[in-house]
Structure 1
Amino acid sequence: MASKRLRVAVIGAGAAGLCAARHVLNYPDTFLPPVVFEASDQLGGTWVYTEQSGEDAEGWPIHSSMYHDLRTNLPKEVMAFPDFPFNPSLPSFVHHSDVLAYLESYAEHFGVQDHVQFRWQVNDVRPVLGDQGTASGWDVKATVRGSGLTQHVSEHFDAIMVCTGHYAIPFIPPIPGLDSFQGCLLHSHSYRRPEPFAGLTVVLVGAGASGVDLAMQLSPVAAHVALSHQGPPVCGLPEDILQVPRLLKVVKEMVVFVDGSVLQPDVLILCTGYRYRFPFLTLARLGLQETEYGVGPLYRHLLAPQHPSLFFIGLCQQICPFPHFHCQVLFALAVLRGHCLLPSAAEMEADAQGQLDRYLREGGLARHFLRLKAQQWSYAKELAKLAGFPPLPPAVQEIYEAVRARRLHNVGTYRNVNYRLLGPDAWEQVWDSGKAPEGDGNAE
Structure 2
Amino acid sequence: MHVAAQRSPRFFLSKVLGPRIVPTEYRSLVIFGAQKLTTRAATMNGRDHTTESLKVAVIGAGAAGLVTARELRREGHEPVIFEQGSKVGGVWVYTDKVEEPHGASSRIGAAEERVHSSMYAGLRTNLPREVMSYTDFPFTRSWGDTRRFCGHAEVEAYLEAFAAAFDLEKYIRFNTPVLSLTPCEAGSPPRARLGSDTAPTNGHQAGHQREAMPVFDAVIVCNGHYSDPRRPDIPGMAEFPGRLLHSHSYRRNEPFEGMTVVVIGASASGEDISREIAHVADKVYLCARSWQNPAWAAETVEPFGARRNIWRRGVPSRLHPDGGVTFQGGKRVDAVDVVMFATGYCYSFPFLADTRIDGAEIVTVEDNRVSPLYKHIFPPSTAPTLSFVGLPWKVVPFAQYELQAKWIARVLSARVSLPGQRHMLADISAFYADLDKEGVPKRHTHMLGDKQWEYNDWLAAACGPDVTPLPQWRPKMYKVAGDTKRAVPETYRDVWPEAELLAEAAAEASRLGAPVEIQNQIAKTTVV
TM, length-normalised to structure 1: 0.88
> What is the distance in 1 between the residues matched to 2:141 and 2:405?
26
**Relative contact order (alpha carbons < 8 A, sep ≥ 6): 1 or 2 greater?**
2
Equivalence for 1:276: 347
2:75 to 4, 13, 27: 27
Equivalence for 1:292: 367
CA contact (8 A) 1:125 1:141 kept: no
Deviation at 1:290, TM superposition (A): 2.1
5+ residue gaps, structure 1: 132-138, 438-444
Specify whether residues 431 and 9 from structure 1 end up closer, same or farther in structure 2 by C-alpha distance, changes over 3 A only.
closer
Equivalence for 1:135: none
> What is the distance in 2 between the residues matched to 1:191 and 1:151?
41
Give runs of aligned pairs for residues 11-22 of structure 1, distance below 5 A. 11-22=59-70
Equivalence for 1:136: none
Give runs of aligned pairs for residues 319-334 of structure 1, distance below 5 A. 319-334=395-410
Deviations for 1:163-197, whole angstroms, at most 9, x for unmatched residues? 00001110111111112210111100000000011
Classify the secondary structure of the residue corresponding to 2:67: helix
CA contact (8 A) 1:125 1:280 kept: yes
> What is the distance in 2 between the residues matched to 1:153 and 1:226?
56
Matched, 1:80 2:155: no
Specify whether residues 125 and 321 from structure 1 end up closer, same or farther in structure 2 by C-alpha distance, changes over 3 A only.
same
CA contact (8 A) 1:237 1:411 kept: no
Letter in 2 for 1:170: P
> What is the distance in 2 between the residues matched to 1:434 and 1:329?
37
> What is the distance in 1 between the residues matched to 2:194 and 2:432?
31
Letter in 2 for 1:306: S
CA contact (8 A) 1:211 1:227 kept: yes
**What RMSD over aligned residues (CA atoms) do the two structures have, in Å?**
3.1
Specify whether residues 178 and 147 from structure 1 end up closer, same or farther in structure 2 by C-alpha distance, changes over 3 A only.
farther
Equivalence for 1:317: 393
Classify the secondary structure of the residue corresponding to 1:226: strand
Deviations for 1:108-142, whole angstroms, at most 9, x for unmatched residues? 000011111011121111333448xxxxxxx9999
1:304 to 379, 393, 409: 379
CA contact (8 A) 2:253 2:276 kept: yes
Matched, 1:44 2:89: yes
CA contact (8 A) 2:275 2:305 kept: yes
Letter in 1 for 2:80: V
Deviations for 1:48-101, whole angstroms, at most 9, x for unmatched residues? 111111289x96421000000000000011000011011345321011000000
Specify whether residues 5 and 316 from structure 1 end up closer, same or farther in structure 2 by C-alpha distance, changes over 3 A only.
same
Q: Identify the range of structure 1 (188-197 vs 353-362) with the bigger mean alpha-carbon deviation.
A: 353-362
CA contact (8 A) 2:369 2:444 kept: no
> What is the distance in 1 between the residues matched to 2:270 and 2:154?
22
Q: Identify the range of structure 1 (140-149 vs 280-289) with the bigger mean alpha-carbon deviation.
A: 140-149
1:371 to 420, 427, 447: 447
Matched, 1:209 2:268: yes
> What is the distance in 2 between the residues matched to 1:46 and 1:409?
29
Classify the secondary structure of the residue corresponding to 2:214: strand
Deviation at 1:291, TM superposition (A): 2.1
Deviation at 1:151, TM superposition (A): 8.7
Specify whether residues 343 and 425 from structure 1 end up closer, same or farther in structure 2 by C-alpha distance, changes over 3 A only.
farther
> What is the distance in 1 between the residues matched to 2:319 and 2:195?
43
Specify whether residues 300 and 140 from structure 1 end up closer, same or farther in structure 2 by C-alpha distance, changes over 3 A only.
farther
2:480 to 396, 399, 402: 402
Deviation at 1:144, TM superposition (A): 6.0
Equivalence for 1:381: 457
> What is the distance in 2 between the residues matched to 1:124 and 1:371?
27
CA contact (8 A) 1:275 1:294 kept: no
Q: Which has the larger radius of gyration?
A: 2
> What is the distance in 1 between the residues matched to 2:176 and 2:71?
22
> What is the distance in 2 between the residues matched to 1:217 and 1:72?
14
Specify whether residues 25 and 7 from structure 1 end up closer, same or farther in structure 2 by C-alpha distance, changes over 3 A only.
same
- Paired positions, count: 426
1:422 to 503, 510, 521: 503
Give runs of aligned pairs for residues 114-193 of structure 1, distance below 5 A. 114-130=170-186, 154-193=213-252
CA contact (8 A) 2:100 2:249 kept: no
Equivalence for 1:261: 331
Letter in 1 for 2:470: L
Equivalence for 1:134: none
Equivalence for 2:21: none
CA contact (8 A) 2:183 2:356 kept: no
Deviations for 1:211-248, whole angstroms, at most 9, x for unmatched residues? 00111101110011110112248567443211111111
CA contact (8 A) 1:319 1:373 kept: yes
Q: Identify the range of structure 1 (2-11 vs 115-124) with the bigger mean alpha-carbon deviation.
A: 2-11
Deviation at 1:423, TM superposition (A): 3.6
> What is the distance in 1 between the residues matched to 2:468 and 2:292?
40
Is the strand fraction higher in 1 or 2? 1
Specify whether residues 202 and 59 from structure 1 end up closer, same or farther in structure 2 by C-alpha distance, changes over 3 A only.
closer
Q: Identify the range of structure 1 (418-427 vs 333-342) with the bigger mean alpha-carbon deviation.
A: 418-427
Classify the secondary structure of the residue corresponding to 1:311: strand
Letter in 1 for 2:271: V
CA contact (8 A) 1:79 1:322 kept: yes
TM, length-normalised to structure 2: 0.75
Specify whether residues 99 and 431 from structure 1 end up closer, same or farther in structure 2 by C-alpha distance, changes over 3 A only.
closer
> What is the distance in 2 between the residues matched to 1:168 and 1:179?
23
1:247 to 316, 338, 341: 316
Letter in 1 for 2:463: A
Classify the secondary structure of the residue corresponding to 2:261: strand
CA contact (8 A) 2:82 2:174 kept: yes
> What is the distance in 1 between the residues matched to 2:292 and 2:91?
29
> What is the distance in 1 between the residues matched to 2:175 and 2:209?
10
Q: Identify the range of structure 1 (382-391 vs 93-102) with the bigger mean alpha-carbon deviation.
A: 382-391
Specify whether residues 404 and 3 from structure 1 end up closer, same or farther in structure 2 by C-alpha distance, changes over 3 A only.
closer
